[in-house]
Amino acid sequence: MKPIRKVVIPVAGLGTRVLPATKSIPKELLPVVDRPLIDYVLAEARDAGIEHVILITGRGKGAIEDYFDHAFELEATLRAKSKLDILSALEAGIPMAGTLSSTRQQAPLGLGHAVWCARELVGDEPFAVSLPDEIVAHRPGFLKQMVDAYEKVGGNLVAVEEVPNEDTCKYGVIAPKGRDGNLIEMTGMVEKPQPADAPSNFRIIGRYILQPEIFTLLKTQEKGAGGEIQLTDSMNKLNEQQTFNACICAGGIYDCGSKLGWLQANVALGLKDPDLGSAFGAFLKSQV
């Protein structure tokens, strides 16, 4: 079984659900407590033993690559002012040279198309996909839990959580067949079904482990829900050919691509922050 060494992180989206905040900054750089969203996703990938990050970027998203590079003026100023703790925290977040690559999705054709853009960089090996809108606050990181499951069952995996029926139309939803602990075998998947048509209320969270055969399916994938090339549609076809499991994630998921989810992430993670948590908690109590 080949190990999961690479993660694909699509960052080309326009962030329309969180406008105007994202008019001139990428949504992936919106801060949650003291660091940008994308930092959480990279930390989770590191926890899972990922060696190489592949960003699928787009126009106006250059600040994301800058975030992962040295900022010499800033670093020199921090050094001159002996702010060495801040400096070493900044340096710790920079991936080792050569371990982060990026390619541009030249048109917003959908998540399936974004993942397909990574085919040359991924090559012929299984890989992870993490959507940076969603913070999954778990210890160990949820991607690590998926990699552990992959090492037992192989094939392909998606992360899922249960949502109220009325929310199925916002997500990809799985059709469960059987359950073994927190793993669900599936008969299929459907993107953004209306509640009446949804095969379950297990919605797909933005964490995936996929075999490289997905690229062949994505190449010819027709447009699906919302007129976009959907990853879910190609995964549904891959499910007919290979092992596919859904890995249940219980709680700790914040959809920061929505205003409410972003606020919830700030509150939940702010309360857990070792330096700010207790003062922040006291402030929240005084407000409600």
Where does this chain bind ligand G1P (CB under 6 A)? 111, 131, 133-134, 171-172, 191, 203-206, 230-232
Q: Which is nearer to ligand G1P, 117 or 204 (CB)?
A: 204
Q: Which is nearer to ligand G1P, 78 or 117 (CB)?
A: 117
> In whole angstroms, how close is the CB of 172 to ligand G1P at the nearest point?
2
Q: Which is nearer to ligand G1P, 78 or 145 (CB)?
A: 145
> In whole angstroms, how close is the CB of 110 to ligand G1P at the nearest point?
8
> In whole angstroms, how close is the CB of 254 to ligand G1P at the nearest point?
11
Q: Which is nearer to ligand G1P, 77 or 106 (CB)?
A: 106
Q: Which is nearer to ligand G1P, 9 or 131 (CB)?
A: 131
Q: Which is nearer to ligand G1P, 44 or 134 (CB)?
A: 134
Q: Which is nearer to ligand G1P, 4 or 204 (CB)?
A: 204
Note whether 161 and 205 are within 8 A (CB). Answer: yes
Listed in sequence order, the residues at least 6 apart from 76 whose beta carbon sits closer than 8 Å to its beta carbon are none
> In whole angstroms, how close is the CB of 206 to ligand G1P at the nearest point?
4
Note whether 192 and 228 are within 8 A (CB). Answer: no
> In whole angstroms, how close is the CB of 246 to ligand G1P at the nearest point?
11
Q: Which is nearer to ligand G1P, 44 or 191 (CB)?
A: 191
> In whole angstroms, how close is the CB of 103 to ligand G1P at the nearest point?
19
Phi, psi of 123 (to 5 degrees): 75, -155
Q: How far apart are CA 83 and CA 133, in angstroms?
A: 31
> In whole angstroms, how close is the CB of 199 to ligand G1P at the nearest point?
13
Listed in sequence order, the residues at least 6 apart from 223 whose beta carbon sits closer than 8 Å to its beta carbon are 110, 229, 230
Taking the chain, what is the end-to-end CA distance rounded to the nearest angstrom?
A: 52
> In whole angstroms, how close is the CB of 20 to ligand G1P at the nearest point?
20
Residue least distant from ligand G1P (Cβ): 172
Listed in sequence order, the residues at least 6 apart from 187 whose beta carbon sits closer than 8 Å to its beta carbon are 175, 176, 177, 199, 239
Among 74, 58, 68, which Cα is nearest to 22's?
A: 58
